[in-house]
């Protein structure tokens, strides 16, 4: 793909002697499983963003924290970069390995250490799947609220690293709002505790700083999460609209009415048709867009909120408002939304999933602008997103086997992210920056802000050995990126003037 990228971070990292490193690791860590043959390394060459691929130099598969500590000490001594990887479901290239580095796979740390129903907490290792936490807490009528669409596979360590959200984050918050404590290892192998088992901890809020740091500041070894009581009742309303703009305005109207749904999701016609063909959720396939609005809580409040939301949706121009008749239909409605990504994958050989966040008020105009950009780049875009908090996931359909389509898809994705910034939003909501959005960091942050980010990184990792070349661009890179855009005439953003 057409992207400037240098894993060495301005040439600061030396070439690594693979043979010498392998010999030292085997001497000091004889029980550590290491992969170094080409055929063994290939499965780890990318995360969920498969457009970027790099074969790692070595893959380490530790089982004990002491092995991770010693590995970090050795890599620190020899100035070898380390990239941490969990389940590999990330969508921003955050776990992309390095040709001159070690890929540290934490998937074997997959134990739920303790469920405390009285304190409503769970203490887990980083390789535990998101959904497994709720399954373990279910006998106590508790659950873990953040629910990414990949929750059946994604690990809690990766959720912390990317500050993952999910369809219910509007009411219950992102990962950062559902954490109490994380245990980490520094780049030198030192054990550190961020946060506490209490509701607050003394000193700076390093837990919030670390959450979403994408493996740049330390290696997660244990996570303590908050658990919530299962709602007494949950009901879902499905509203159909004859335009995406009306659906977008309805989202703002619901929030303006003082109602905070448990989930508020939107799908356009292309996405809902794909989901219906795949899941048979019962979606109205002739609608230009649908909203799924879940209301949960005590029974009296839920019934009252359902009536209020129905009235708001009808005033907003909904052509149909349907309430799930029973729990089975409610589950089907959500199954269609949660399987929208693989469903869209059946429409095209490849698709590129974006992740930008915008103010709710900008939703109608941004959707129209995305349609105009899709026409300009001659590519289809399916819109699936967390409408309630403005976290958009446009899916750009393309065929990598057709010359130029991959480059056009990447360019269109970049324009969509820059559009999000132009209306007061962000280039990411929950997928992270990784390698994918590093150029667009230059569009969102100025040189002083980027310098501060580098200073935070240096405080934890002075040698820039943890996940180098990701997340934070160099000022030189941003200068090149800005010059490229000015030369192409892409700034200021013309779509905003059109709508």
- Mean pLDDT, residues 360-367: 91
Residues 145, 228: contact at Cβ < 8 Å?
yes
| Mean pLDDT value of segment 414-421 | 96
pLDDT at residue number 489: 46
Alpha helices in 405-474 (DSSP H): 405-422, 438-444, 447-460
Q: What is the mean pLDDT of residues 383-412?
A: 94
Does residue 5 have a pLDDT over 50?
no
Instruction: Report whether pLDDT(3) > 80.
Output: no
Q: Between residues 9 and 13, which one has the greater pLDDT?
A: 13
Q: What is the percentage of the chain residues whose pLDDT exceeds 70?
A: 94
Alpha carbon separation from 127 to 113, 132, 319, 358, 387 (Å, rounded): 12, 10, 45, 31, 29
Average pLDDT, rounded, for the chain: 93
pLDDT of residue 486: 46
What would the 3-class secondary structure string for 7-61 be?
CCCCCCCCCCCHHHHHHHHHHHCCCCEEECCHHHHHHHCCCCCCCCCCCCCEEEE
Residue 160 has pLDDT above 80, yes or no: yes
The pLDDT tens digits for 222-273 are 999 999 999 999 999 999 999 999 999 999 999 999 999 999 999 999 999 9
Strands 263-268 and 142-143: unpaired
Q: Beta partners for 295? A: 235
Structural domains of the chain in order of their starting residue, each with its CATH number = 18-105 (3.30.43.10), 112-229 (3.30.465.10), 233-329 (3.30.70.2190), 348-498 (3.30.70.2740)
Residue 138 has pLDDT above 60, yes or no: yes
* pLDDT attached to residue 84: 98
- pLDDT of 487: 45
Of the pLDDT bands very low, low, confident and very high (cuts 50, 70, 90), residue 12 is low
pLDDT tens readout for residues 38-87: 999 999 999 999 989 999 999 999 999 999 999 999 999 999 999 999 99
Task: Reply yes or no on whether the pLDDT at 13 is more than 80.
Answer: no
Confidence of residue 496 (pLDDT cuts 50, 70, 90): low
Full-model pTM = 0.93
- Dump pLDDT digits (tens) for 146-155: 999 899 999 9
pLDDT-derived band at 200 (thresholds 50, 70, 90) equals confident
79: left (phi > 0), else alpha (psi -120 to 50), else beta?
A: left
């Amino acid at each position: 793909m057409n992207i400037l990228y240098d894993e060495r971070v301005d040439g600061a990292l030396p070439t690594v002697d693979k043979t010498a490193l392998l010999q030292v690791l085997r001497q000091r860590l004889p029980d550590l499983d290491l992969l170094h043959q080409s055929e063994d390394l290939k499965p780890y060459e990318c995360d969920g963003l498969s457009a970027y691929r790099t074969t790692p130099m070595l893959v380490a598969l530790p089982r004990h924290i002491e092995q991770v500590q010693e590995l970090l000490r050795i890599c620190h001594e020899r100035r070898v970069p380390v990239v941490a990887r969990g389940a590999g479901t990330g969508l921003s290239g955050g776990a992309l390995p390095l040709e001159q580095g070690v890929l540290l796979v934490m998937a074997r740390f997959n134990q739920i250490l303790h469920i405390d129903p009285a304190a409503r907490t769970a203490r887990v290792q980083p390789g535990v799947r998101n959904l497994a936490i709720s399954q373990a807490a279910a006998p106590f009528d508790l659950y873990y609220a953040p629910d990414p669409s990949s929750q059946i596979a994604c690990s809690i360590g990766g959720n912390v690293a990317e500050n993952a959200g999910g369809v219910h984050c509007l009411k219950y918050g992102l990962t950062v709002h559902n954490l109490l404590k994380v245990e980490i290892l520094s780049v030198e192998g030192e054990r550190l505790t961020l946060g506490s088992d209490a509701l607050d901890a003394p000193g700076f809020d390093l837990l919030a700083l670390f959450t979403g740091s994408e493996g740049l500041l330390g290696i997660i070894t244990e996570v303590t999460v908050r658990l919530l009581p299962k709602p007494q009742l949950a009901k879902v309303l499905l509203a159909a609209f004859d335009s995406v703009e009306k659906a977008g305005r309805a989202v703002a109207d619901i929030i303006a009415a003082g109602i905070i749904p448990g989930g508020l999701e939107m799908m356009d016609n292309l996405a809902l048709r794909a989901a219906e063909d795949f899941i048979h959720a019962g979606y109205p396939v002739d609608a230009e867009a649908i909203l799924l609005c879940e209301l949960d809580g005590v029974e009296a409040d839920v019934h009252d909120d359902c009536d209020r939301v129905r009235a708001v949706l009808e005033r907003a121009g909904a052509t149909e408002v349907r309430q799930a008749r029973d729990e089975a239909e409610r589950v089907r409605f959500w199954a269609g939304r949660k399987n929208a990504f693989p469903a869209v994958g059946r429409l095209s050989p490849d698709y590129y999933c974006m992740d930008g966040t915008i103010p709710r008020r900008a939703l109608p105009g941004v959707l129209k602008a995305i349609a105009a950009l899709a026409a300009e780049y001659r590519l289809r875009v399916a819109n699936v997103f967390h409408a309630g908090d403005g976290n958009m996931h446009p899916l750009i359909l393309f065929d990598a086997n057709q010359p130029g389509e991959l480059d056009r898809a990447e360019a269109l994705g970049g324009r969509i992210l820059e559009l999000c910034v132009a209306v007061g939003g962000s280039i990411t909501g929950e997928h992270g920056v990784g390698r994918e959005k590093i150029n667009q960091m230059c569009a969102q942050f100025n040189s002083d802000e980027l310098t501060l980010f580098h200073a935070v990184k240096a405080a934890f990792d002075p040698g820039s050995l943890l996940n180098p070349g990701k997340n934070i661009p160099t000022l030189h890179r941003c200068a090149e990126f800005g010059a490229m855009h000015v030369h192409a005439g892409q700034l200021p953003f013309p779509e905003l003037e059109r709508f």
